[in-house]
Each structure stands twice: as C-alpha cells, then as structure tokens.
Chain A
C-alpha cells in the first residue's frame, strides 16, 4: 500500500515538471549550452542563461535581433547563416562546427545544432538552436597535433644527428651510402632506397647501395646513363629534388618517367641531390609502397640528409683517394726496394771476381810465383768483370730511368732498313757462326726514334736470338711494312720458351725458366729495357714460341713516319 502512495506522489511531481513554465525554467537554467529559438526569418525569440554566458548578450538586448550577428564576417559575406537555416528547413536538422562571435567580438569554436520547429500541420514556426563551446576541446586537439608534430620533428632531428654521427665514421663510399639508404628508409617509412654517385666520366650514375628493389629493377654497381628516364637522373640533371607523390603526379609532372613507373611496384618516389657547396656528389632515392605526399617537414629532413650525405661522400672519396695514393706509393717503394736488392745482389758477384783476381795476383807476387802468362790471365779476368759490371750498371740505370720517366730521347728520323742491315752485319761477323737471313722491303722505312736507343733494342733482339740458339743456328730477320707501322721479326731455332712465359720475359729480372736452368748468363734486364724503350717510342714488343726447344720469335712494331710528313 505504501509503495502505491509513493508512485502517486512521483506521478504528481512529473506532471508538475511537464508544466510548460517549468520546462522553460529548466532550459533557462542550463549553463553549458546556449539554447534559444529563432523565428522562421532568423530572429532570436528566446534566450537562456547558457546563451547569455556563452555569447555575452542579455535577453533583452538580443531578442528580436537577427542571429546572423553570431557568425563571422567572412561567413556572413558568403551567406552561410541563411544556408544553414535553409538546410535545417529541408533536412529538419543541421549540424555545424565553426567559429562564432561573442558580443565583445571575441571568437569561440562552436558545435551547433539547428532543428526546424513545425506545428501539428507541418508549418514552420521557427528553429531551435543549441550551441556548445568547443574552443577548449579544439585547442586541446590542436595541442596534441602540435605535440605530435613536434615529437616527429624531434625524432627526425635525432635521426639526422644519428646519421651525421654514423656518416662521420664512414670512411668508405659504400659505407656512407649504406647509412643514407638505411636512415632515409626508416625515417620516412619507404619500401626501398638507393644511393648513386656519378662515374668518373660523368656519363652515368653508379648505384653504390641499394635495398628493397628487386634485382631486375636496380642492383649494386648498376650504371644508369644520366640521360635515362629515372627519378634519380631527373634530380641529377636538374640539381633539384624530385618528389612524386603518386602515379598521377608522374603523369602530370614527369610524363617521360611513365614507362619506368609502369614497371615499378611502387606508388610514390622521392629523389634528392647529395650536394655540398653547390657541388652534386650523388642522389638518394626513396620509393614508397603507397601514394605518399611528403610534408614540408619531411622534405626538409630529406634535403638535410642529402647535405650531410654529401659531406660524408666527399670525405669518403678523399679518404679513398688518399688510401689509393698511399698504396701506390708503398708499392712503388717496395718495387724500388726489391729492384735495389736484386741489383746489389747481381753486382756482388762480378765485384767478387775483380777482388779475387786482384788478390790472386797479389798472392802470386808475395809467393814469388810471378809468371807473366798467369798475371795476364788475372788482368784479363779483372777486365772482363769490369766490363760486365759496367754493362750491368748501365742496364740498371736504364731500368731505373725508364721506371721514373727520366729517360730523355733524342728523336730524329731514322732509316730502319739501314740500321737493321748494319746490326745484322755486325752479328754475322762474330765467331759464333750463326747464319743470318735478312728480308726487307726495297723502299725506305723511316721511323721517328732515338737512333742510339733503337739500336739498343734491335741489338738486344739479335743478342737474345744468338744467346738462346745453338752455334751455327739460323736466324731470320724480317722487316714488314704495314699501313701505319713496321714490324721487325727476329726468329731463332733455339731453346724456345716454356708455354705461358712469353710475357714474363719482358718484366725486369724476368727470364725463361729453361734459360736459368741451362745456366745461360743473364739478368733478365735486356728485354725489359727494350719493351719500355719501344713503348716510349709508341710501339709494341712481344714474343711467341711454340714451346721449349721450338725456337723463339721476337716481334717489334713501330709507327712509321708517313711519306707525306717526310717530304
């Protein structure tokens, strides 16, 4: 029974609240929302305390005024208030967010709902407008966005610092390139990246580091002609970054790239120059899996990365060229050391012979065994050794001068046919009894050469033929005139060369293994000197042999003086 009485009382209370005046009071007391009615033509009809608090007007000031004054000038100018009312009328309800103006002219960010009010028959009798101030929430959102942006920027700056530190430690070009692709990819979330630098001739870009691309698209050491259509080469040619946010943008801005882009699994690209003090050192390219428009911050990051990358590449290049120069210098010193040690070694034996002969003569005198015939023999031995030493020193000096480029040629026009004839004649007269045949063209063969050096080379070819073939063997010498040069061929029928040793005999101290095995005297300098002498004359020298015991053919080619120039 008691509960039914309570229910009765509750119903009475609800009926009291349903009373219109009471409901008005309720709306009036709401402070967090501006709730007011508008006439069909947009004039303020009612005003609650929330509206007064939000907009600053008291009821008597604003009732009867147009609601347009709540809008900003810009929105009034484009007829925004009327549009909203029209929309509310047709849709029944419209929601809007935007700046609204208070009585004092200050602005707040408002969330507005306008509802059309109709009577029982559907005639418009006005609008209900509920406005909420979202300024604080909006500011909080802005703050969050700004904080996120700041965090992203800070992160990029940190990545840039990490990159700078890592790049500073990179001493090789490929290391610097690897760091660039890695940082670029990770920071901007690219699916693939590559770094390329120009080839020495500047005609192409060579890929230094690459990741994320299929090998048929781009691989290490691949060379792209700078005229080829790629984002990389576009950036290289223009010295400007190339940002391609989507395939559509490629079509609009770089139609020449469409062919390449068609085959690419990627959807957006960025290529930035690696540039230092205006000097282009390379390109960093990033490819994205999805269309991607880089914001100014991200572009700034890439350009900055390009700059520190260029510094690193510059440094690495310097370091590498220094290393190379040092390596070459060390190799030259080592070669010089080896040369000196072999040279000194080879000089010791003839010096020992001179000394031994002199001491032997001394001993004979001391022992009273002085015998003219013996004494003469010792003197002859000293003489021979001294001659050998002299020739050896001359050869060693030649090798050294040729190696350091200090050999001076006194070039003049030389008639090669005559010179060859003279030298062959000289050799024919020696006691070793080799039989020479000489075949030469009837016309003159003129070469521009140092006659003494040319004689030295020809003499060396013939002395080799004599030295490495049996007494009485036949040696053929032939001169062959060609279009632009002349070939001198010296063929013997001697010990030949073991297979594969044809080139080695032209190296300093290089000799055929069969020559040393047979104890044929020689240092292995003559042909090395000849080769270098021929090369400084713009010619070539080479050897051929069918193998050990098959004889050797030495060939010399020299450019001839053209008949026109000679006359």
Chain B
C-alpha cells in the first residue's frame, strides 16, 4: 500500500483530506507541523507528501529541505496545499510538482495523488 505523508496544521482539514485518501486506498500519516512530519518521514518513508507551507515550528520550506536529505527521499513528489498567495512560487522553490491554493478541490487533489502513485 502506497504511503502519503499529510502535513497540515489545521486538524479538521487534515482529518478530511486523510479520510478521502484512505477511501482511495492509501496509507496516510498525518502531521500537524514540519517537526513531527520529519520524524514520521524518517520512520515511515512516504511515497508522496502533501504539504502546507505556513506552519508553526518547522515550516513547509524548512521541512522539504530537511526531508530531501533523508535517505531515499531526495525525489519524493510533493503537492503543496497552502493559503498563501505565493503558494505557487514557494512550491517551485521546495521542488513541488503541484501547488494548490486553499480552498482547493478535493477531487483535483485526489487525482494528482493518483497520477503520482498509480
């Protein structure tokens, strides 16, 4: 089963996205910030990361830089999901393949995930 690491500080939204992904048949690890996400990534190497950018402690950008240093995770695809008007620019900077802006289309997100993990 493919593994998705979901990094999002809003708990309600995190649970909703996770539910959709589980429905689609993925294993989902949820993290409320970059620090927790890094621990999870090291322990359970993800096949894809869904990443919010503005989070407490370790933010999305710092997380992606650190994660790429982890063994086997240098080229894990990242989908950025952010409220920032600069989500696209920052997405490119963190090496994301896709950047979505909140509020986003859940079906569109799931389609992107499917494309990467099919």
Contact: B10 with A353, CB < 8 Å? yes
Q: Counting CB contacts under 8 A, is A29 at the interface?
A: no
Interface residues of A (CB under 8 A from B): 341, 345-346, 348-357, 359-360, 363-364, 367, 369, 378, 381, 384-385, 516-519
A346 to B103, CA, bound (A): 11
A378 to B12, CA, bound (A): 10
Interface stretch (choices B14-22, B43-51, B65-73, B90-98): B14-22
Chain A residues within 8 Å of B20, by CB: 356, 359-360, 363
Interface residues of B (CB under 8 A from A): 9-10, 12-13, 15-17, 19-20, 23, 32-33, 54, 56-57, 83-85, 101-107
Contact: A360 with B57, CB < 8 Å? no
Determine chain B's interface SS by DSSP, over half rule. Answer: loop
A516 to B16, CA, bound (A): 23
- Cross-interface CB contact of B16 among A341, A346, A356, cutoff 8 Å: A356
Residue of chain A at shortest CB distance from B109: A356
Determine chain A's interface SS by DSSP, over half rule. Answer: helix
Contact: A517 with B16, CB < 8 Å? no
A517 to B23, CA, bound (A): 32
Name, among B15, B57, B103, the residue most crowded by chain A CB atoms within 10 Å (CB to CB).
Answer: B103
10 contacts between A and B (CB under 8 A): A345-B84, A348-B101, A351-B103, A352-B104, A356-B13, A356-B20, A356-B106, A357-B16, A381-B12, A517-B57
- Cross-interface CB contact of A359 among B12, B33, B57, B107, cutoff 8 Å: B107
Chain A residues within 8 Å of B84, by CB: 345
Residue of chain A at shortest CB distance from B33: A519
Given A348-B103, A516-B56, A519-B32, residue A356 in contact with residue B83 (CB < 8 A) = no
B56 CB to nearest A CB, Å: 5
- Cross-interface CB contact of A360 among B19, B32, B56, cutoff 8 Å: B19
A471 to B7, CA, bound (A): 27
B80 CB to nearest A CB, Å: 13
Name, among B17, B33, B102, the residue most crowded by chain A CB atoms within 10 Å (CB to CB).
Answer: B102
A360 to B109, CA, bound (A): 12
Name, among A345, A359, A378, the residue most crowded by chain B CB atoms within 10 Å (CB to CB).
Answer: A359
Given A356-B20, A363-B107, residue A519 in contact with residue B56 (CB < 8 A) = yes
Q: Which 6 A-B pairs have the closest CB atoms?
A: A348-B83, A352-B102, A352-B103, A359-B106, A348-B102, A356-B16
- Cross-interface CB contact of A349 among B13, B56, B105, B107, cutoff 8 Å: B13
Chain A residues within 8 Å of B10, by CB: 349-350, 353
Contact: A360 with B16, CB < 8 Å? yes
Chain A residues within 8 Å of B19, by CB: 360
A381 to B15, CA, bound (A): 10
Chain A residues within 8 Å of B9, by CB: 519
A337 CB to nearest B CB, Å: 12
A355 to B54, CA, bound (A): 20
Contact: B56 with A352, CB < 8 Å? no
Chain B residues within 8 Å of A353, by CB: 10, 12-13, 16
A517 to B103, CA, bound (A): 24
Chain A residues within 8 Å of B103, by CB: 348, 351-352, 354-356
Contact: A363 with B102, CB < 8 Å? no
A66 CB to nearest B CB, Å: 113
Residue of chain A at shortest CB distance from B14: A353
Chain A residues within 8 Å of B105, by CB: 355, 359
Residue of chain B at shortest CB distance from A520: B56
A381 to B32, CA, bound (A): 18
Chain A residues within 8 Å of B56, by CB: 516-519
A385 to B101, CA, bound (A): 18
- Cross-interface CB contact of B83 among A345, A355, A518, cutoff 8 Å: A345
Chain B residues within 8 Å of A517, by CB: 56-57
Contact: B23 with A363, CB < 8 Å? yes
